């Protein structure tokens, strides 16, 4: 029978020398695990001696505790000795706000508004935040407003088919769920709820490397033909990444690996960090080792702990080839030069995602629309050799259609899926995609285009954006030479 501890006894073990935590009523000695924690030791130390369940649960896939050495589990805590835990903020808010009929919500902004009220401040700060002054986050959307549509009339628009193929797989919508982390911060349905929510639309989902559920859980019960990608952040400790790849290779509904490149180090997301410094984030305590800045981060910075920063075209793609046969999709391309380079790694590399990480990496980085237009201008052959996907700033079906007209093969939504989840769990995601599909159909019909492959630049006027596109400083820079030099 398990030993029973008094909470006061546990509370004494809150140092790097002896660190205990309570999880789901069990007492663990995690002293030996501290240096191995992917999120850094400080995150745990801060919770040392306390009931960490509320912090731990929404961001760790089930089974995480099973990875601990069994000897770590010391026994049970005596529940009577625990002070009543603060009611979990998010579920409290959810109750207080009362039920929302997500069917009455008409657009993605309304979803964000509702979700903002329902989810915890920590979750909101993590999802909402972007780097520095949120310029790129905001510009990602505004740039779509600068593009005008060109509706053709007197065209039979009775039928309209939003389906397309992505990497050769048939999908119901040209949309994908971008690999956003920590879905259970928004709602207990988590990433699996997203998967269920998009399944009836045949939409593709990319599972975050930092998902709060295990990939095996997320893809469980998916619809026939429903497909997934899996995002990898390669770890400094490569063997962890190799182990994960092995698990992914074994999941047949996961069709490709997404390697995210636009955030080798975290951007400066002040909304997220501010919650961290208020003691509400997944914060770490300064441990006096001189890593002072690291200790102040919010959720975002914590997640980057241990991520490799030394990736390069040849070595990393070669290493990946050793550990998976799945096609590779590069996420985070922001210049035509890198698109051009990527093309040369086909066919291992099958697609790129033009992305500035939702404005969360480098502020004032260009929106995907700029990079699309750069590629059209300087190296349109890229579109013929690999697929070009985009994400960032999508609020309307017209935004999706504009990206497709510019040559995108698929369009990602990140925050929209999370806010949909936060507002109404699986049903919220479903309604979010229903809205997007409806808006895409209306747009296509009013343009006079009855299938996705019809869409092209003739349906848009992007001149107001084109004049801002990088032009090699009027030819003063030798773009071509630099491309090869960087390879």
Residues 408-437 that bind a second copy (CB under 8 A): 434
Q: How many residues bind to a second copy according to rule CB under 8 A?
A: 89
C-alpha to C-alpha distance for 416 and 412, rounded to whole angstroms: 10
CB of 431 to a second copy, least distance (A): 11
C-alpha to C-alpha distance for 364 and 184, rounded to whole angstroms: 30
Site residues for a second copy, window 241-280 (CB under 8 A)?
261-268, 270, 273-274, 277
Strand segments (E) across 54-120:
73-77
CB of 7 to a second copy, least distance (A): 31
Catalytic residue among 233, 340, 378, 459: 233
**Is the Cβ of residue 214 or residue 437 nearer to a second copy in the bound state?**
437
> CA 217 → CA 63, 195, 196, distances in Å?
11, 10, 11
51 assigned to active site: no
**Is the Cβ of residue 212 or residue 334 nearer to a second copy in the bound state?**
334
Identified binder of a second copy from the candidate list 36, 79, 468, 480, rule CB under 8 A: 468
Site residues for a second copy, window 302-341 (CB under 8 A)?
309-313, 316, 330, 332-335, 337-338, 341
443 binds a second copy (CB under 8 A): yes
| Nearest of 365, 358, 259 to residue 313 by alpha carbon | 259
Identified binder of a second copy from the candidate list 43, 171, 362, 416, rule CB under 8 A: 362
Strand partners, 149: 460
The stretch near a second copy (CB under 8 A) out of 71-79, 83-91, 363-371, 383-391 is 363-371
**Is the Cβ of residue 181 or residue 447 nearer to a second copy in the bound state?**
447
Contact (CB, 8 A) for 326 and 257: yes
CB of 68 to a second copy, least distance (A): 30
CA 455, 461, 462 angle in degrees (round to 5)?
100
> CA 240 → CA 179, 244, 247, 293, distances in Å?
19, 6, 11, 26
237 binds a second copy (CB under 8 A): no
C-alpha to C-alpha distance for 385 and 405, rounded to whole angstroms: 18
C-alpha to C-alpha distance for 62 and 57, rounded to whole angstroms: 8
CB of 193 to a second copy, least distance (A): 21
Catalytic residue among 187, 271, 336, 357: 357
462 binds a second copy (CB under 8 A): yes
C-alpha to C-alpha distance for 242 and 73, rounded to whole angstroms: 27
Contact (CB, 8 A) for 460 and 150: yes
262 assigned to active site: yes
Strand partners, 256: 229
| Nearest of 300, 274, 283 to residue 126 by alpha carbon | 300
Site residues for a second copy, window 133-172 (CB under 8 A)?
133, 135, 144-145, 147-158
Query: Tokens 């004049």 label which residue?
Result: 467
Contact (CB, 8 A) for 354 and 368: yes
Catalytic residue among 29, 189, 262, 391: 262
60 assigned to active site: no
The stretch near a second copy (CB under 8 A) out of 20-28, 35-43, 127-135, 180-188 is 127-135
CB of 45 to a second copy, least distance (A): 19
Tokens of residue 418, six digits: 């999370």
Specify the 3-state DSSP secondary structure of 190: helix
361 binds a second copy (CB under 8 A): yes
112 binds a second copy (CB under 8 A): no
**Is the Cβ of residue 17 or residue 156 nearer to a second copy in the bound state?**
156
**Is the Cβ of residue 67 or residue 322 nearer to a second copy in the bound state?**
322
The catalytic residue positions are 233, 262, 357
């Amino acid at each position: 029978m398990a030993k029973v501890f008094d909470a006061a006894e546990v509370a004494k073990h809150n140092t790097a020398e002896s660190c205990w935590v309570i999880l789901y009523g069990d007492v663990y000695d995690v002293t030996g695990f501290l240096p191995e924690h992917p999120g850094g030791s400080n995150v745990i130390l801060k919770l040392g001696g306390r009931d960490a369940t509320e912090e731990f649960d929404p961001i760790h896939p089930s089974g995480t505790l099973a990875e601990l050495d069994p000897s770590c589990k010391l026994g049970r805590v005596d529940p009577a000795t625990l002070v009543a835990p603060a009611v979990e903020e998010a579920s409290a808010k959810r109750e207080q706000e009362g039920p929302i009929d997500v069917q009455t919500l008409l657009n993605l902004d309304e979803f964000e508004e509702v979700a903002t009220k329902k989810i915890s401040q920590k979750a909101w700060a993590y999802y909402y935040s972007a780097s520095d002054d949120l310029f790129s986050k905001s510009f990602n959307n505004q740039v779509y407003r600068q593009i005008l549509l060109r509706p053709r009339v007197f065209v039979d628009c009775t039928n309209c088919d939003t389906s397309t193929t992505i990497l050769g797989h048939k999908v119901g919508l040209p949309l994908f769920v971008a690999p956003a982390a920590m879905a259970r911060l928004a709602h207990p349905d988590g990433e699996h709820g997203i998967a269920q929510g998009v399944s009836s639309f045949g939409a593709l989902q990319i599972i975050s490397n930092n998902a709060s559920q295990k990939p095996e859980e997320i893809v469980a019960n998916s619809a026939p033909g429903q497909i997934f990608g899996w995002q990898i952040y390669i770890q400094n400790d490569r063997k962890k990444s190799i182990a994960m790849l092995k698990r992914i290779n074994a999941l047949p509904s996961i069709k490709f690996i997404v390697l995210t490149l636009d955030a080798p180090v975290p951007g400066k997301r002040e909304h997220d960090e501010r919650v961290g410094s208020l003691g509400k984030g997944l914060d770490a305590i300064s441990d006096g080792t001189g890593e002072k800045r690291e200790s102040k981060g919010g959720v975002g910075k914590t997640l980057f702990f241990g991520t490799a920063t030394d990736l390069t075209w040849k070595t990393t793609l070669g290493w990946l080839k050793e550990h998976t046969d799945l096609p590779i999709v590069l996420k985070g391309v922001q210049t035509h030069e890198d698109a051009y380079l990527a093309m040369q790694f086909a066919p291992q590399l099958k697609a790129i995602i033009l992305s500035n990480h939702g404005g969360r990496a480098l502020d004032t980085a260009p929106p995907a629309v700029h990079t699309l237009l750069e590629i059209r201008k300087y190296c349109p052959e890229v579109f013929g050799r690999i697929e070009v996907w985009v994400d960032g700033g999508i609020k309307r079906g017209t935004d999706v259609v504009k990206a497709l007209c510019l040559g995108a093969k698929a369009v990602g939504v990140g925050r929209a899926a999370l806010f949909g989840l936060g507002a109404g769990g699986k049903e919220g995601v479903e309604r979010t995609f229903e809205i997007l599909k409806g808006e895409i159909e209306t747009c296509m019909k009013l343009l006079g285009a009855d299938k996705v492959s019809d869409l092209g630049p003739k349906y848009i006027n992007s001149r107001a954006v084109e004049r801002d596109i990088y032009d090699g400083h009027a030819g003063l820079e030798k773009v071509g030479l630099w491309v090869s030099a960087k390879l």
